[in-house]
Structure 1
Amino acid sequence: MESLTAKLCAFARAWHSSHSDHTVFNDFLALDFMGQEEYEKVSNFILKRFPQESENSVEFFNRKYFLPIVLSRSRFAEDRVKLESQSGKIQYVICGAGVDTFSFRNKNPNVEVFELDLLATQSYKKKRIQELHWNIAENVHFVAIDFSKDRIIDKLVENGFDRQKPTVVSILGVSYYLPLSVFAETIRQFSEIATTGISIIFDYLQKGAFTAPVLQLKKIVADCGETMAEGFRDHEVFDALERNGFKVDEFLGESALQQRYFRTGNLKAFDSVRLIAAIK
């Protein structure tokens, strides 16, 4: 089963698509995938566990802690996929896909999708897809993987991955729970999966961030039964990328995120979150 924080992220996407007057990222299938019953459960969870001094604590909770992170990274990744697919066929590898709905929103035949996740999470997702009577396109592959044991390239190739095709890899929401050494090893493995152009997209929290929003986010995650790691320093991330042959193509900190995605509306870029697109 997917984690509680994954449900909160899906809830945030669903809430934004139906409540916002300034849509940063429109996951119009998020609510359908969750189902009204699950949506209400998560909403009630927020109301009971995280009361805020606001007339609408669900809206306050989403705007303050989850929407700025979830919306910007999803938009960043999918904009990149759209850009790179304009030149021809590409592969899009989604790490820790969870309840991501890109495979069903995507109408571009140039994009072949590989969803990587734990078997239990994928079993839940496939069951839900069956209940919704959604069709899984031929260019979508579900790759069950245990990241702590399996070699990523082996699992991908077993499921039809072509090492000759340009590839975009998104690793979103993963680094928050990993030490730098483990995340650097993930980058190393992805540096080997394609023999031609590869782009990786990921987000991380800056190490040493102790502002009130960051501390509260860590508490929220802890209340969900998960533990956030300490984060990374920017130069550590750049060094890990360089060691594995990657060059930073885009780097968005708070001010850049605010300018690109939140210039209008009532959302503010989350403190100390970074987005990176790197190429090899």
Structure 2
Amino acid sequence: MADEQYEVPDSTAVRVALWRAMHVQIDAEPHLFEDEIGLHLVAPDEEWRSRQDMDPRGTSGFRASTVARARFVEDLVAEQVGHGIDQYLILGAGLDTFAQRRPETASRLRVFEIDQPATQAWKRRRLIELGYGIPDRLRLVPGDFEAGGDWWQQLSDAGFDTGLPALVVCAGVTVYLTKETVAATLRRLAGLAPGSTLAMTFMLPAELVDDADRAELEATKPRARASGTPFISFYAPQEMLALARAAGFEDAQHVSGTELAHRYFAGRTDGLRPSSGEDLLVATI
């Protein structure tokens, strides 16, 4: 019991899990992404929807961005499985629930989730408590990109095969890492086997964010700092593409938040749309 007090999930991971659930509970159908398992993992008190960061209107853009990137990622997973990829690596996995929500697809993959040790220990315990367990094809790997230590070796020890192609996803993470760490991570991933694909989100600097979203983005910065997860790194699209190419990726493409909005939100009549501050890098080896 003494150890459990130190097993706490990262606050940003909890927020994302709750936004996913809110999308199902309060946004009009069709839902882009259905995930209430994260909510059950967190098991917040009955007043959780009254939290400041759960305001239905004030945070709708962030909520929409969260489910848009999740939908993009899982569309990419389905595509890559169709191409024969059988290793799926999630960097900064947080409370990702792919393995629990999509057991049929997950059974065709070895899924490796890497995140901070406290978050991983807590998640492992909660999955067991809720009856999901930890199937052999799901590996929860503790690792901290900024704190030193060889997370790559930990991944290998968990059974990840660097000689085989993989799909790697890193969503909602780079803004919390230094640019040096992001560049080092890209160099490491560029050494994966040919046929591997990386999807990585990144935050735009304020001057590249749409006028309608800039004020809200700026307002979140002090709140993120106060919660212990300050925003650190922002990238213009060309800067991120240049980093990926310099790291050794053969091809690097930019997928804008605007493109995701057109792809997933066209025709909606409820006004739900993603904020414009987060874009995607999709790179291949």
Q: TM-score, normalised by structure 2?
A: 0.86
Residue in 1 that maps onto 2:17: 10
Task: Summarize deviations over 1:5-38 as a string: whole Å, max 9, x none.
Answer: 2211111001112332231111142222222xx1
CA-atom RMSD in angstroms:
2.0
Distance across 2 between alignment mates of 1:126 and 1:230: 30
| Structure 2 counterpart of 1:207, one-letter code | P
CA shift in 2, pair 1:31/1:71, >3 Å: same
Residue in 2 that maps onto 1:134: 132
Aligned pair 1:262/2:259, yes or no? no
- Superposed displacement of residue 248, structure 1: 4.4
- Superposed displacement of residue 43, structure 1: 2.4
Residue in 1 that maps onto 2:76: 80
Name the SS for the 1:61 alignment partner: coil
- Superposed displacement of residue 111, structure 1: 1.5
Q: 1:217 aligns with which of 215, 220, 230?
A: 220
- Superposed displacement of residue 228, structure 1: 0.7
| Structure 2 counterpart of 1:33, one-letter code | L
Q: 1:279 aligns with which of 277, 281, 284?
A: 284
- Superposed displacement of residue 172, structure 1: 0.9
**Map 1:3-152 → 2, pairs under 5 A:** 3-20=10-27, 21-35=29-43, 38=44, 40-46=46-52, 58-64=55-61, 66-106=62-102, 107-108=104-105, 109-148=107-146, 149-152=148-151
Distance across 2 between alignment mates of 1:233 and 1:249: 14
Q: Quick check: 1:172–1:202 contact (8 Å CA) kept in 2?
A: yes
Name the SS for the 1:275 alignment partner: strand
Structure 1 range deviating more: 213-222 or 116-125: 213-222
Q: Could you list the structure 1 runs, at least 4 aligned residues long, displaced by more than 6 angstroms after superposition.
A: none
- Superposed displacement of residue 165, structure 1: 2.2
Q: TM-score, normalised by structure 1?
A: 0.87
| Structure 1 counterpart of 2:25, one-letter code | S
CA shift in 2, pair 1:39/1:196, >3 Å: farther
Q: Quick check: 2:170–2:201 contact (8 Å CA) kept in 1?
A: yes
Residue in 1 that maps onto 2:153: 154
Q: Quick check: 2:141–2:158 contact (8 Å CA) kept in 1?
A: yes
Distance across 2 between alignment mates of 1:278 and 1:208: 24
| Structure 2 counterpart of 1:34, one-letter code | V
CA shift in 2, pair 1:208/1:28, >3 Å: closer
Distance across 2 between alignment mates of 1:4 and 1:155: 24
Name the SS for the 2:58 alignment partner: helix
Q: Quick check: 1:152–1:189 contact (8 Å CA) kept in 2?
A: no
Gaps of 5+ in 2: 1-7
Aligned pair 1:238/2:241, yes or no? yes
CA shift in 2, pair 1:225/1:252, >3 Å: same
Identical-pair percentage: 26
Distance across 2 between alignment mates of 1:266 and 1:22: 13
Q: Quick check: 2:60–2:274 contact (8 Å CA) kept in 1?
A: no
